[in-house]
Structure 1
Amino acid sequence: MQQSMQQLDIFADSRDVVLRNDVVEHLQRRHAVDARASLTQLASEYPEDRALPAMTVLVRELENESSLPLTDHAELAEVRRHLENHVIPAVQQVLPAKDVHAWSTPCWRSLAQRAAPLVFCGTHTESHAAPLWLRAGDCAAATNAVNTIESWWRIPSPLAWMTEARYRASGLDAAWPLFAELAWLAPSRFAALIAGLRDASLNALRRRFDADFPGTGEIEDYVWFPAWLMIVKPALASRLGEARVQRDVPASRATALLGEILRREHEGDQHELMTLREELSRLHTGLFDAYMATRKVQRR
């Protein structure tokens, strides 16, 4: 197991370890002045200490904290890259694993607050407060930020942010309608979100879809995931039926159509059922075959 820099070695009372731990203690308390003093002492006595570069990054981060609002999307992107590429790796290198999230959260919260004045920009789609609030673990603030974006459900990035916020705040069942809308609108973003959430049930469904769905094997296949889900998990039909149907997307129409088919099956309307099944077959033959295979099994 990789050890963080602050962990003591067998010479727990050695001078370099004591000085290093002093820096870590002040960093954990976010005391910039004291952390700088301890870092200076460590650098003076042990200029080759391997902890110095990462510790210096964190001390500077505390010293340079700002609450000034950001008014430029490019500037926000630059500050975010600095956090992701320099600060967070330094935190992971210097602090115990159990403290990384707690130390990083105020950084993301501060940046989200500074980004609040920036309206959503189509040419800087990730430069917005919403994803920063998600990194800070504040789903309510992320939801509020997305709601400021006009027609957010028609734009991949905001829809993905709202889906994640709903999932983290209320669970998978509550988020299914948004997952469906995201799959229809941006299947690649849908797949990336599932991978990032690391939800065991979602990952299991994704693996099953990858193995069973009669598609092309390309990322665009995920546009059919909600319709396929109707077949393999009919209990989710009601939840998926809450999604905003996109009539210009065949996969969205297929999902709505399957919901209607399930209702007609329950009612026993065979004539209308045949018409609906024919329509489903025209939308996607492989999906229709998968649906009919489950019906043949049920009749045995």
Structure 2
Amino acid sequence: MQPTMQQLDIFADSRDVMLRNDVLEQLQQRNATAARTALERLAAEYPGDGALSAMTALVRDLGSGSTAPFADHAALASARRHLEDEVVPAARRVLPAQTVHAWLAPCWRALAARAATLAFRGTDAVNHAAPLWLLAGDWAAAREAVEGIESWWRIPAPLAWMTEARYRAAGLDAAWPLLAELAWLAPARFAALLSALGDASLDTLRRRFDAAFPGTGEVDDYAWFPAWLLVGKPALAGRLGEARVQRNRAASRATALLGEILRREHEGDQHELVNLRQEFSRLHAGLFDTYMATRKVQHR
């Protein structure tokens, strides 16, 4: 029996789908040669196909595969912009959503490896291997890259990278000391990292902080997040006590002081508590009132 005209139309409509799927299959296998062949077949039969430009960008990226170290930061910046502006949108355009991150990971890994010899520059922090290793999902390599930066814990960008690497590799409990240090040093970066981590418990704490902390409502309030957290969750005193105290920052001193207050409370040293509480109240009166409300005692 001869196929009807309607059946022929269905076959014609499904032909482009089949050819697109052929390209996608080879892309997901990262087979550059086979992907290029499949792409050429699709382009020959359907030159106006809407997925052609995105697929072409991905096939070209698969075939580029340079492993040569970047000569300078400008070369890395150019390669990174290409990946961010062309390859990433193309991957999101044509690949299944659940596979995009895994497909892009080798791309970021290749850039990170090529950037390994480039020194950290504070004025151009994004062009360094560490954030690329994070995008590649290699937490150990990210940590190693950050450790190569002198005094990284005193610089917002590498401290944020190390904090994320610690969280991704070992979880929230292990990351608390670095999260505290980041909040004190760079509140805006701390807030941005909380959003990026997507941790349900952190998101809940952040909402509570935003609603209850007696601050100005500005992003700098997040410097006080560790101290505020300690008021409500004294069990974290040990973890937060591992953070490097930044004596030139009131919020850091307040967190350390509150840890000492909690210890004195446990020991029942009422005389010393009076002095410590007075010192705490001078650092942040509103947070001190919050703390005292949880103790149901009168400040003397």
The two structures have a TM-score, normalised by structure 2, of 0.93
**Residues 12 and 255 of structure 1: is their aligned pair in 2 closer, same or farther, counting only changes over 3 Å?**
farther
1:265 aligns with 2:268: no
CA contact (8 A) 1:182 1:190 kept: yes
Q: Which amino acid aligns with 2:262?
A: L
| 1:126-275 map, 5 Å | 126-275=126-275
* Equivalent-residue separation in structure 2 for 1:52 and 1:13 (angstroms): 16
Q: Which has the larger radius of gyration?
A: 2
1:46 alignment partner in structure 2:
46
1:72 aligns with 2:86: no
* Equivalent-residue separation in structure 2 for 1:291 and 1:34 (angstroms): 65
* Equivalent-residue separation in structure 1 for 2:71 and 2:176 (angstroms): 35
1:3 alignment partner in structure 2:
none
Q: CA deviation at 1:101?
A: 2.0
Deviations 1:47-103 (A, max 9, x none): 110110100100111121210101311221221122122111211221112321221
Helix, strand or coil for the counterpart of 2:70? coil
* Equivalent-residue separation in structure 1 for 2:14 and 2:218 (angstroms): 57
Helix, strand or coil for the counterpart of 1:90? helix
Helix, strand or coil for the counterpart of 1:174? helix
1:114 alignment partner in structure 2:
114
Deviations 1:83-141 (A, max 9, x none): 12211121122111232122111101111100101110111111111111111111111
Q: CA deviation at 1:11?
A: 5.5
Q: Which amino acid aligns with 1:18?
A: M
Q: Which amino acid aligns with 2:79?
A: V
2:31 alignment partner in structure 1:
31
* Equivalent-residue separation in structure 1 for 2:122 and 2:31 (angstroms): 39
* Equivalent-residue separation in structure 1 for 2:119 and 2:71 (angstroms): 9
**Residues 12 and 228 of structure 1: is their aligned pair in 2 closer, same or farther, counting only changes over 3 Å?**
farther
Q: CA deviation at 1:37?
A: 1.7
Seq. identity, %: 73
CA contact (8 A) 1:70 1:115 kept: yes
Helix, strand or coil for the counterpart of 2:123? coil
Helix, strand or coil for the counterpart of 1:193? helix
**Residues 210 and 11 of structure 1: is their aligned pair in 2 closer, same or farther, counting only changes over 3 Å?**
farther
Helix, strand or coil for the counterpart of 1:247? coil
Q: CA deviation at 1:38?
A: 1.6
**Residues 113 and 184 of structure 1: is their aligned pair in 2 closer, same or farther, counting only changes over 3 Å?**
same
Runs of 5+ unmatched residues, structure 2: 1-9
* Equivalent-residue separation in structure 2 for 1:98 and 1:210 (angstroms): 32
CA contact (8 A) 1:71 1:117 kept: no
The two structures have a TM-score, normalised by structure 1, of 0.93
RMSD of Structure 2 on Structure 1 (CA): 1.5
* Equivalent-residue separation in structure 2 for 1:128 and 1:278 (angstroms): 45
Helix, strand or coil for the counterpart of 2:220? helix
Q: Which amino acid aligns with 1:81?
A: R
Helix, strand or coil for the counterpart of 1:134? helix
* Equivalent-residue separation in structure 2 for 1:184 and 1:171 (angstroms): 20
* Equivalent-residue separation in structure 2 for 1:11 and 1:175 (angstroms): 56
* Equivalent-residue separation in structure 1 for 2:101 and 2:92 (angstroms): 9
